[in-house]
Amino acid sequence: MNTTNTEERDLERIVTEIVRDVVERSEELTVPVEMSARHVHLTAGDVEALFGKGAELTFKRSLSLPGFLAEERVSIVTAKGSFKNVAVLGPVRGHTQVELSATDAFSLGIRPPVNISGDYTGAEDVYLVGPRGMICAENSAIIAQAHIHMSPEEAVQMGFANRDIVKAELLGTRTLTMNNVMVRVDPGMHAMMHIDMDEANASGYEGVKKAVIRK
């Protein structure tokens, strides 16, 4: 038996496997990932109720996708707990929406559903407190379902349609495969996955901020 030949064959096999793995990886669909901490979207009426008659949201900085972070902040209050200094995102919307992580919801003692933004089925009520008033934001609190934004052009390139459900491998120190991630195709958007703080922490995505998408 010739040991060298056996070793060479082993090496050849290993090299072939590595090359195949590299080729497969390079063909994978990768998108950037952003974490959304707890935040609130408000109606124009609720902005006035919280910040005073005639008040409008003040632009602080742009977000990476259309929309902005406002200077204004609110508190979220329930019978069990509260969060102060919560970010408000503009522009105003047709329905006030409070986006929490499951851990936030636990602290507040509520059980919001995991919904796509804009779906208020089963959404929880919370109180919102601003410097000039307080409201009960009924049917407003949800845990945002992880989703991937993309433009119609990117959707065609990557072979996705609006509301497709995909798997996403969140690359990080504790790489995590997520199921039930929704593709959201809108003009003016670009490829970007949005996850909440629980999902970000579970994957250890800091420093990588990328996900591999699988159909």
Residues binding Zn ion (CB under 5 A): 194
In whole angstroms, the minimum distance from the beta carbon of 150 to Zn ion comes to 11
In whole angstroms, the minimum distance from the beta carbon of 148 to Zn ion comes to 9
In whole angstroms, the minimum distance from the beta carbon of 34 to Zn ion comes to 8
Which residue number has the CB closest to Zn ion?
A: 194
If the CB atoms of residues 34 and 48 are measured against Zn ion, the closer one turns out to be 34
If the CB atoms of residues 22 and 65 are measured against Zn ion, the closer one turns out to be 65
The string of DSSP codes covering 53-91 is: TT--PPEEEE-SSS-EEEEEEEEEE-SS-EEEEEEEEES
Q: Give the separation between CA 78 and CA 155, rounded to whole angstroms.
A: 40
Cis peptide before 91 (omega within 30 of 0): yes
In whole angstroms, the minimum distance from the beta carbon of 145 to Zn ion comes to 10
- Residues whose CB falls within 8 Å of the CB of residue 118, separated by 6 or more in sequence, listed in order: 95, 97
Q: How many CA atoms lie within 13 A of 191 on its CB side?
A: 17
- Give residue 4's Cα distance to chain centre: 53
If the CB atoms of residues 75 and 96 are measured against Zn ion, the closer one turns out to be 96
If the CB atoms of residues 75 and 97 are measured against Zn ion, the closer one turns out to be 97
The string of DSSP codes covering 18-34 is: HHHHHHHHHTSEEEEEE
If the CB atoms of residues 135 and 150 are measured against Zn ion, the closer one turns out to be 150
Check residue 169 and report its DSSP letter: E
The answer to whether the CB of 85 falls within 8 A of the CB of 36 is no
In whole angstroms, the minimum distance from the beta carbon of 175 to Zn ion comes to 21
In whole angstroms, the minimum distance from the beta carbon of 170 to Zn ion comes to 15
List the end-to-end C-alpha distance of the chain, in Å, as a whole number.
Answer: 47
If the CB atoms of residues 38 and 194 are measured against Zn ion, the closer one turns out to be 194
